[in-house]
């Protein structure tokens, strides 16, 4: 490292309190993404709560309870906003303490550059390298665009961050940074895969039938993608590729057993391309300085035109419910926000444009409520207030434990018939009667 870089680093190295001292009432602050929560700066900002009002704090999926919420339970000083909901945001939302920012994920950077200004951006990075760069590590989706619109940029250094190679825009140079905060020694938050059920196994079995040699995969979080990953690892399929919004542990397993080569990809050939990663230490260790993996902002990874350039894209996404018109709700339970649009629309659209591609919505046919009552996830219409994540015109494949149907090119009557055929048998007669009453049966 040059003497000039060392001097610049020392000039910008400050405590968290000093780094956050310039935040004023009415300012807007970006807290980074997912598991890269800026703990020290969050605590320092929360300590100033009595001086501040109307400070907006934005993040991409809060993964731990912010101190600015804990120490301001009535929202008198801070307003929390999330570009994608997880468990913490759901809890805060129920308390009236967190708002959702709707977006089509690949448009996020453009939305920020056109319409959003951040007074401060606080992101967790790895330590500065000998050329003066701080690596964003496992989350690179909206951070570069937020920094482009920031008046004050703070990096909170965590030496446990894996160094994730690009791609592009995976790092920031010290010349673009205003403050460097040290003192983090914590391990990255781990998100183990959910335990699979027999229903997940059955759904995955139907999806496996349409995956071919050379397919390019988008597998997200949850039990279903993990099951598909396990089944792929045990299959005879070869030369699979990865172009995915979220890189998960199952991708590591597939690579290590030789299923992932990327040899049939057209773009990012031989690379596992992604915009953020979330899983266990197995995934984080795999990513560190690994040239097999390429980190990109989300406006590249999730752009449907980019997705469609690779052949045989298989995009698998979950849903909360679907109606007989084939409208998909994946982010709310009635009016209650439970998730975000994320990349579902991006990848379903992109997969359809891919030569031989298939965009798949996978969901269990039923769910059981807190009182033990079983309900169908396939319904005549969506529950009032439900958010349509995927319009019916974009839906291609839908899979439940009872089968998988392809809906493109089908009439409203044919779609209703197809969806009823994969609903739970106990609900099919009622669904057929409702479809007839609505004029689509």
Residue 34 is assigned to a structural domain of this protein? yes
Final residue belonging to a domain, choices 151, 181, 211: 181
Residues 398 and 253 in one domain: yes
Q: Report the DSSP beta bridge partners of residue 78.
A: 55
Q: Mean of the per-residue pLDDT values for the chain?
A: 95
Residue 186 is assigned to a structural domain of this protein? no
18 is catalytic: no
pLDDT number for residue 195: 83
Q: List pLDDT tens digits, range 258-297.
A: 999 999 999 999 999 999 999 999 999 999 999 999 999 9
pLDDT number for residue 22: 95
CATH number at residue 40: 3.40.1080.10
Residues 173 and 60 in one domain: yes
Residues 45 and 85 in one domain: yes
Residue 192 is assigned to a structural domain of this protein? no
Final residue belonging to a domain, choices 141, 156, 181: 181
Evaluated on CA atoms 230, 235, 237, 238, the torsion sign reads positive
Of the candidates 215, 219, 262, the one whose C-alpha atom is nearest the C-alpha of residue 235 is: 215
Residue 109 is assigned to a structural domain of this protein? yes
Residue 266 is assigned to a structural domain of this protein? yes
Residues 143 and 32 in one domain: yes
By percentage, how much of the chain surpasses pLDDT 70?
Answer: 100
Residues 152 and 252 in one domain: no
Residues 327 and 425 in one domain: yes
Final residue belonging to a domain, choices 132, 156, 181: 181
Residues of the domain holding 76: 3-181
Residue 161 is assigned to a structural domain of this protein? yes
SS3 285: helix
Residues 161 and 284 in one domain: no
Tell me the two tokens of residue 383.
Answer: 């529950």
In total, how many domains does the chain have?
2
DSSP 343-370: THHHHHHHHHHSTT-EEEEE--SEEE-T
Residues 233 and 333 in one domain: yes
Kindly state the helix (H) or strand (E) to which residue 374 belongs, with its residue range.
strand 374-376
Residues 296 and 371 in one domain: yes
Residues 87 and 142 in one domain: yes
Of the candidates 338, 307, 327, the one whose C-alpha atom is nearest the C-alpha of residue 218 is: 307
Residue 422 is assigned to a structural domain of this protein? yes
Bridge-based pairing state of the strands 28-33 and 13-14: unpaired
Residues 125 and 166 in one domain: yes
Q: List pLDDT tens digits, range 172-225.
A: 999 999 999 999 999 998 988 778 899 999 999 999 999 999 999 998 777 888
Residue 165 is assigned to a structural domain of this protein? yes
Choice among 8, 156, 245, 331 that is catalytic: 245
Residues 118 and 237 in one domain: no
Report pTM. 0.95
Tell me the two tokens of residue 217.
Answer: 């995969």
CATH number at residue 325: 3.40.1080.20
């Amino acid at each position: 490292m040059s003497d000039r870089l060392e001097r610049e680093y020392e000039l910008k190295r400050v405590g968290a309190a000093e780094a956050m001292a310039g935040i004023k009432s009415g300012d807007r602050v970006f807290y980074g993404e997912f598991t890269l929560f800026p703990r020290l700066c969050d605590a320092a900002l929360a300590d100033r709560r009595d001086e501040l009002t109307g400070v907006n704090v934005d993040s991409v999926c809060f993964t731990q309870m912010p101190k600015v919420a804990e120490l301001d339970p009535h929202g008198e000083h801070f307003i929390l906003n999330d570009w994608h909901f997880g468990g913490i945001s759901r809890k805060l939302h129920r308390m009236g303490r967190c708002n959702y920012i709707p977006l089509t994920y690949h448009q996020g950077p453009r939305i920020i550059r056109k319409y959003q200004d951040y007074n401060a951006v606080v992101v967790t990075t790895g330590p500065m390298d000998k050329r003066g760069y701080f690596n964003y590590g496992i989350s690179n989706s909206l951070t570069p665009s937020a920094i482009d619109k920031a008046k004050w940029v703070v990096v909170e250094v965590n030496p446990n961050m894996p160094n994730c190679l690009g791609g592009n825009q995976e790092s920031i140079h010290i010349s673009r940074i205003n403050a460097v905060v040290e003192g983090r020694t914590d391990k990255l938050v781990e998100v183990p895969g959910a335990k699979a059920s027999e229903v997940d196994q059955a759904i995955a079995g139907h999806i496996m039938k349409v995956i071919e040699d050379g397919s390019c995969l988008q597998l997200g979080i949850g039990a279903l993608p993990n099951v598909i990953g396990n089944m792929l690892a045990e299959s005879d399929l070869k030369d699979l590729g990865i172009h995915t919004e979220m890189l998960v542990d199952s991708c590591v397993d597939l690579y290590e057993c030789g299923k992932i080569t990327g040899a049939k990809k057209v773009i990012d050939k031989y690379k596992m391309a992604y915009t953020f990663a979330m899983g266990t230490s197995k995934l984080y260790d795999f990513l560190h300085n690994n040239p097999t993996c390429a980190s990109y902002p989300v406006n590249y990874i999730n752009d449907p035109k980019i997705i469609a350039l690779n052949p045989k894209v298989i995009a698998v996404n979950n849903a909360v419910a679907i109606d007989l018109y084939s409208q998909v709700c994946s982010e709310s339970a009635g009016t209650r926000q439970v998730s975000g649009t994320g990349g579902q629309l991006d990848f379903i659209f992109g997969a359809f444009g891919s030569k031989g591609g298939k965009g798949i919505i996978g969901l269990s046919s039923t769910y059981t409520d807190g009182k033990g009552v079983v309900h169908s996830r396939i319904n005549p219409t969506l529950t009032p207030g439900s958010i349509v994540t995927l319009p019916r015109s974009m839906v291609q494949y839908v899979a439940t434990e009872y089968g998988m149907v392809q809906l493109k090119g089908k009439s409203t009557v044919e779609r209703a018939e197809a969806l009823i055929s994969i609903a739970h048998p106990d609900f099919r007669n009622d669904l057929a009667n409702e479809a007839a009453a609505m004029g689509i049966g």
